[in-house]
Amino acid sequence: MKKIIRNIIIFYFILSVFACSHHKKSGTTKILGKIINPKKREIVISHDPFNVSSDTLYIHSGNKFFGEINIEKEGLHYLFVFPEFQVMYIKPGDSIAFVLNTTEFDESLSFSGTSGFENNLLIELFLANEKENMQIRRELKDLSPRQLDKKLDSFYKIKQALVDSYKPRYNKTSRQFKKTVDLYNKVPQYRIRENYLRQHKEDSIPVYFTKYRDFLKKPVVDANLPDLLYFAKTYIENRLGNEEKKDFRSYHKAADLINAEIADPDLRDNILMIYCKNYIIGESVRDASDSVFQKYAASMKSSSYVSHCKDFINKNTLLAPSREFPDIQVIDANKKFYNLHDILQDNKSILSYWDIFYRSNFTSNLKKLKSIKEKNPGLQIIILNDNPEDFEEWKLQIPQDSAFKFYQIQVNGNEIKKFLPYGLNQVFLLDSTRIKQSMINLYDANFQNELNDFINP
């Protein structure tokens, strides 16, 4: 295996850590390694796709990290290394090391340790699936069902041959891992087929072509496979008819469909979670007694998911129009501290956000805000950097433009999430400290009308 051969020495630089460390507790897994070109000083390993239950490991000197996490069951976990993610296969009691270069990401990710072989094989299959999807996606509109079948069969044989080429080592892996590999090879093709149906809604599709959908009627070996989420979500969207308007009626219908069509309880929870979050955010739900939210909450078996959705409701309530924006502490480029309310006082302001690792997004927003400022010179425009850990890098990137006021938020931990918008294109319109418009998209068709009403009430 290419990744195993080229990175066989990955484990050596941390061998002494393993040798000197104390004996592992049952279920405790050691994770260590190195991040090349880290964008943030932490990595997150999550037990679910939504970071509801997760562990954070901090990157120290030499860009190395080390930590222990508690793993209850063998399977896929999400590895978030900003700004991307991948999945890791972890067993209770594992000792796993990996090296990752953020500028190359998937192609650079290499594992060693007790589940090193399993993870390197899954990375190779991931890259094969990515290549399969990219090649077929370009032709999807022009293929007949039979032609698509032929192409998918050809790619499946390539992936199966990749697995077979490591037969002696593969045969020693667990039964569950072998089932996960089978999932890895098949489900991305189900996702492609579902996208094919989306693009051929008016065509006559043979009955045999949709037999793969029966997969959702059975339990799955691992509900954390990203392609499985994409496939199941696209299936539900296709069954709903891709309704343009997402309102409480379509979300009610979606919940019924998810409960009826997806048999695996973990996968069902994941898809319910996606729809529940989208509903709460899109409808700005501010009451936990909302009938649609209650329907999703009653359907989810995970109380942690329900609690997570309630956090979004609380956030919508905290940042609702007519409320005061939280009086958070910020600093300027000279490290002078301010309370945000002192900056907002007696001014009409646009409050925008900046993450320095999304440069193109910031540049686009800055251009839009500059145009607004030119037309409304009395309007105060405040831009907040939302990562309190990257002061020096942020300071170097601040444009020399007096049209804007730049500050960096000084709130740590999970508290910062309470007053951040859901997307970097969303801004607040504030009259003094009072919220007039909350999380409105700069590029929304109604934004200019909302801005005019704000400036000239």
DSSP conformational letter for 80? E
- In sequence order, the 6+-apart residues with CB closer than 8 A to the CB of 249 are none
pLDDT of residue 11: 40
What's the rounded Cα separation, in Å, for the pair 365 and 369?
6
Per-residue pLDDT tens for 48-69?
999 999 999 999 989 999 999 9
pLDDT of residue 1: 47
Superfamily per CATH, domain 1-112: Carboxypeptidase-like, regulatory domain (2.60.40.1120)
- CATH classification number, 329-455, choose in 3.30.70.980, 3.20.20.70, 1.10.10.10, 3.40.30.10: 3.40.30.10
pLDDT of residue 377: 94
Q: Does the CA dihedral 31-32-37-38 come out positive or negative?
A: positive
pLDDT of residue 243: 54
Which value, to the nearest 10 degrees, does the dihedral of the CA atoms of residues 376, 378, 382, 383 take? 30
- What residues does each domain of the chain span? 1-112, 115-242, 244-318, 329-455
Residue type, 417: K
pLDDT of residue 219: 96
Of 337, 314, 359, give the one whose Cα is nearest residue 411. 337
* Residue 378 burial (10 A CB sphere; 0-12, 13-18, 19+): exposed
Flag residues of the chain having pLDDT under 50: 1-25
What's the rounded Cα separation, in Å, for the pair 89 and 360?
33
